[in-house]
Amino acid sequence: MFGILLALGAVVLIAVLLLIFRIYSLVNVARGTDKVRVSKSNKVNAILFLVFLVVFGGWFFYYSFSAYESYQLPFASEHADDYESIFWATTWITVSVFILTQILLFVFSFKYQYKKGQVATFYPDNTKLEVIWTIIPAIVLTILVFGGFKVWNKITDAAPEDAEVIELLGYQFAWAFRYAGEDGQLGAFNYKLVDPTNLMGIDFADANAFDDFMPREITLPKGRPVEIKIRARDVLHSVYLPHFRQKMDAMPGMPTRMWFIPTKTTAEMREELKNPDFNYELACAEVCGRGHFSMRLTVVVLEPEEYAKWFAEQKEQTFLKTNPEYLSFVPAELRELAKIKSGMETDVKEAKSVELSQN
Amino acid sequence: MATINVEKTHTGGHSDAHAHDDHAHHQSFISKYIFTTDHKMIGKQFLVSGIFWAIIGGGLSILFRLQLGFQDMNFAPLRWLLGDWISSTGSLDSEFYLAMVTMHGTIMVFFVLTAGLSGTFANYLIPLQIGARDMASGFMNMLSFWFFFLASVVMFFSLFIQTGPAAGGWTSYPPLSALPQAMSGSKLGMTLWLISMAIFIASQLLGGINYISTIINLRTRGMSFSKMPLTVWALLLTAILGLLAFPVLLSAALLLIFDRSFGTSFFLSDIYIAGEALPHVGGSPLLFQHLFWFLGHPEVYIVILPSFGIVSEVMATNARKPIFGYRAMIGSLLGISVLSFVVWAHHMFVSGMNPFLGSVFMFLTLIIAVPSAVKVFNYLTTLWRGNLIFTTGMLFSIGFVSVFISGGLTGIHLGNAAIDVQLHDTYFVIAHFHLVMGSAAFFGMMAGIYHWFPKMFGRMMDEKLGYAHFWATFIGVYLVFFPLHYIGIAGFPRRYYSFTNFDAFSGFTDLNMFVTVAAILTFSAQAIFIFNFFYSMFLGRRASANPWKSNTLEWTTPVEPGHGNWPGEIPTVYRWPYDYSKPGAREDYIPQNIPYAMTPESNLPHENEMIDREKDDDSIIVDDETKH
């Protein structure tokens, strides 16, 4: 009942508004306002343009400065320094052009509004002016391009030889990652070997895979180059490390990579931001399905000594050691080597019994 | 004869000549309004379809904005519309969120700003402004609309199927879009999306071929390329871009159909999904991205070029001043058109393609900013020392320049690969293209509708309602899209259903709420336009033949031009379209069909020399006119 009344009320309201509008337009016709070339509204519109310029311009400045802390994400890599300088250089240039052109646009609109008897200036072209404002943007843009080239070449260059190598794989809707272990070489992989435990499809026919380990958290050393080899196994994903100003798509069938040098440990960042809960985060930036928004991973950055300690602990937990059933994927002639490299050898008896149970 | 009698001379002057359009009076309802071959009616059909799609596309954006602005919102009251996409606890399904984002993009880019904008104005304006009776092929033109209609039906239908419409983003990158196991939107919804797009492309090609051949072949006497209005120039280049770019999208769509349905591996390789390894090897997801953006980037210029043209025309008319740098405007249109084909990979800086390619595309991308800057400076100079009449069309034209600047400048950030690494796929990109492509093209479209409405329907739209609509929209788009820059600089990724999972993206809840409220208000304000449009179509004030005192040929037709556009002979063109406020002239405009012989008081020296040639070319018409 209430709903019907409400609907009825709405219909009446609309009818009344329509009627008022109709009467208003007929009155206008009767007064002959349509014969006037330019009504008073012209002036109102001209003034509104100025008001718009002042209000929005003022707001833009106020907010850009006052909210700086909330939109400026803290950063912690060498590349991020480069990024920040080139981003802000570009921003200052574009903001000055923005201010200049918007002021001209709205001030002209106000100043040259229609006045009776005023005649517009017949000014069809001026080659000199046009050449000037073709060349100046061209020069400014060239400078920006070269700044961009420099940074771009630096970050896309091959990673240094001594880089810490980590492999990261995106899948719906999480990440898996492994470290190369003692030998510093990541083992081969094959997507056909993927199963619920061997998330990354590690190929245990390759001896380099024996000491690979998959820790619980991505951990990076401060001040040392880190190379991330990136894969995806189902759809596209994108490795996005906002605090390191890094992003690279992950693709099935075509491995990609990124590298950077972290400059602040997690602890240092917590100190700096006075936020004891701060963590570096890794997000997915390429739409990948229903869980796209939840592909979060925390990244830990440690001092080099702490990192060495962490690494020494973790390398004991090789994938083969924690999942000994995968020994069966190792070719028979390499099995002994696998046991040694994976750290199973310390307990030969156990390894033997596992092998027996497998057979 | 003086220009005061222009309308009489040029529209009624030949009324005794045998009327071309006799048969127009005997048209049935179906042949006049439905299966029509009249370019004017086809233009209106595109316009009304475009408005319909804009409401759907805008409505979808309101739904997902609600999710973004109010994360804990209870959607249960919308279950009558969205059904099972609302869970029992009243939350929106995260996959349907992606579906809405996808459909919003697809609808707005293709169905509103391509078909609705260039479909409307290319059809409506080209024959009228170049002085032609109709398009080169009226039948193909009709087919073009009905293919579009069919594509619309398929796309609309896909919104309501059980597994939901396509949800892999408007770019529909495989493998997500290729594998039905990956998400339910990649099942039937994606198939329908691909079918609809294939039909849509056919429609675009039929239309484009027609626009190009009409402009090249059917210009009236005297309408050389150097006297053509900028609208026609822009629409010509738009059609050429479409003709060259859309077939590439078609090939991408076809290969994707093959991958989806026939087991080929063009885009698929090394995939393990839903517990099994697929047999596909050797395909490349990157290939699809190259093919898609080979269309996708020219596509944004297909969207913006018609607006450039419309704004140039509306601005010159209402500033009562020639457009500044007519040749530079054409030159920059040409420059943009050529460059638009060599910048596509700037969408792919972090896709894993060779970084050297990234350098090349960064360079080319920043070059394209130069002609865009030239256009902006020329618009500003056109306003300088004008005598501005703020019709609603003029307001939207000024608004166009403003949002085009705001959105265009951030393109300099994104075109720089080193900066794009961070900003790619964040809200910064959303802010950028919604201003420079979405809002700017929308403003151009609105400027065009308000400006040519009197010619389309013989009646005027209400000015006051138009002003209200403009100010609500202008302030609205800034309130909606400007804050997104800050959210983007803060690194928020796009296409996120919720940000609560991340500490880094947990801020700005207030700003997101603000944007949502602003979006709702801006969207609601479009009701003013809808009302004004349909009310004025039937009950608006009657228009005169040339209400804006404009120079171009369409205003020399009767108030409501019939089939064949001009009742008598098609007028001859003697001058460029921008003789506004010419020193010495009796009025502040001289239409294109007025010979120099009639305006000795305002002719420039080289124009006086044209007088003799006018007589040689077409003595009959010139004699005829001097009799009055």
**Residues of chain A contacting B322 with CB distance shorter than 8 Å:** 122-124
Mutate to test the interface with A, among B364, B409, B467, B475 (most CBs of A within 10 A): B409
- Per-residue pLDDT, B450: 97
Inspect the interface and report whether the beta carbons of A152 and B418 lie closer than 8 Å.
yes
- Per-residue pLDDT, A355: 52
- Please give the Cα distance from B584 to B606 (Å, whole number): 16
CATH for A237: 2.60.40.420
Confidence grade of residue B260 (pLDDT, cut at 50, 70, 90): very high
Give the CA dihedral B597, B603, B608, B610, nearest 10 degrees: -70
Query: What's the domain count of chain A?
Result: 1
- Please give the Cα distance from A143 to A246 (Å, whole number): 23
Distance from B27 to chain A by nearest Cα, in Å? 32
Confidence grade of residue B581 (pLDDT, cut at 50, 70, 90): very high
- Average pLDDT for B212-235: 95
Residues of A (318-357) whose Cβ lies below 8 Å from B: none
- Average pLDDT for B575-603: 92
Name the residue facing B324 among A123, A249, A256 (closest C-beta). A123
Contact B440, B497 (CB under 8 A): no
Query: Is the model's pLDDT at B628 over the cut of 80?
Result: no
Residues of A (200-239) whose Cβ lies below 8 Å from B: 201, 233-236, 238
Of B153, B198, B146, B148, which is closest to residue B172 (Cα–Cα)? B198
Q: What is the pTM of this model?
A: 0.92
Name the residue facing B325 among A130, A240, A278 (closest C-beta). A130
Helix (H) or strand (E) holding A221: strand A218-221
Helix (H) or strand (E) holding B277: strand B276-277
- Average pLDDT for B3-23: 41
- The answer to whether B620 contacts chain A (CB < 8 Å) is no
CB neighbours of residue A85 within 10 Å: 12
- Please give the Cα distance from B218 to B126 (Å, whole number): 10
Query: Is the model's pLDDT at B8 over the cut of 50?
Result: no
The CA-CA-CA angle for residues B101, B106, B112, to 5°, reads 120
Domain hosting residue A320, numbered range: 164-358
Distance from B19 to chain A by nearest Cα, in Å? 31
**Residue in A closest to B95 by C-alpha:** A290
Give the A:B interface size as CB pairs under 8 Å: 340
- As a whole-number percent, the residues of chain B with pLDDT over 90 amount to 83
Q: Spell out the residues 6+ positions from residue B439 whose beta carbon is closer than 8 angstroms to its own.
A: B403, B407, B477, B481
**Residues of chain A contacting B487 with CB distance shorter than 8 Å:** 71
Q: Report residue B108 as tokens.
A: 């707005």
**Residues of chain A contacting B412 with CB distance shorter than 8 Å:** 90, 93-94, 141, 144
**Residues of chain A contacting B179 with CB distance shorter than 8 Å:** 234-235
pLDDT in tens, B386-440: 999 999 999 999 999 999 999 999 999 999 999 999 999 999 999 999 999 999 9
- Per-residue pLDDT, A303: 96
Q: Spell out the residues 6+ positions from residue A143 whose beta carbon is closer than 8 angstroms to its own.
A: none
pLDDT in tens, B439-483: 999 999 999 999 999 999 999 999 999 999 999 999 999 999 999
- Per-residue pLDDT, A24: 82
Mutate to test the interface with A, among B97, B350, B400, B463 (most CBs of A within 10 A): B350
- Please give the Cα distance from A318 to B592 (Å, whole number): 82
- Please give the Cα distance from B3 to B11 (Å, whole number): 13
- Average pLDDT for B554-575: 92
Of A208, A255, A203, which is closest to residue A229 (Cα–Cα)? A255
- As a whole-number percent, the residues of chain B with pLDDT over 70 amount to 94
Query: Is the model's pLDDT at B618 over the cut of 70?
Result: no
User: Cα–Cα distances in Å, from B624 out to B15, B319, B595, B609, B619?
Assistant: 13, 33, 12, 21, 8
Q: Is A183 contained in some domain?
A: yes
Among B14-28, B203-217, B236-250, B287-301, where is mean pLDDT lowest? B14-28
Of residues B456 and B19, more confidence is placed in B456
Composition of chain A by helix, strand, coil, percent to 5: 55, 15, 30
Q: Is A87 contained in some domain?
A: no
With 0-12 CB in 10 A as exposed, 13-18 as middle and 19+ as buried, what is B323? buried
Task: Provide the β-strand partners of residue B493.
Answer: B426
Pairing mode, strands A164-171 and A174-179: antiparallel
Task: Reply yes or no on domain B36-539 having CATH 1.20.210.10.
Answer: yes
Confidence grade of residue B4 (pLDDT, cut at 50, 70, 90): very low
The residues of chain A scoring below 50 in pLDDT are: 359
Contact B213, A272 (CB under 8 A): no
Q: Is A207 contained in some domain?
A: yes
Q: Where are the domains of chain B?
A: 3-14+569-626, 36-539
- Please give the Cα distance from B486 to A59 (Å, whole number): 13
Measure the N-to-C terminal CA separation of chain B; round to a whole number of Å: 7
- Average pLDDT for B492-510: 93
- Average pLDDT for B42-57: 96
Contact A264, A222 (CB under 8 A): yes
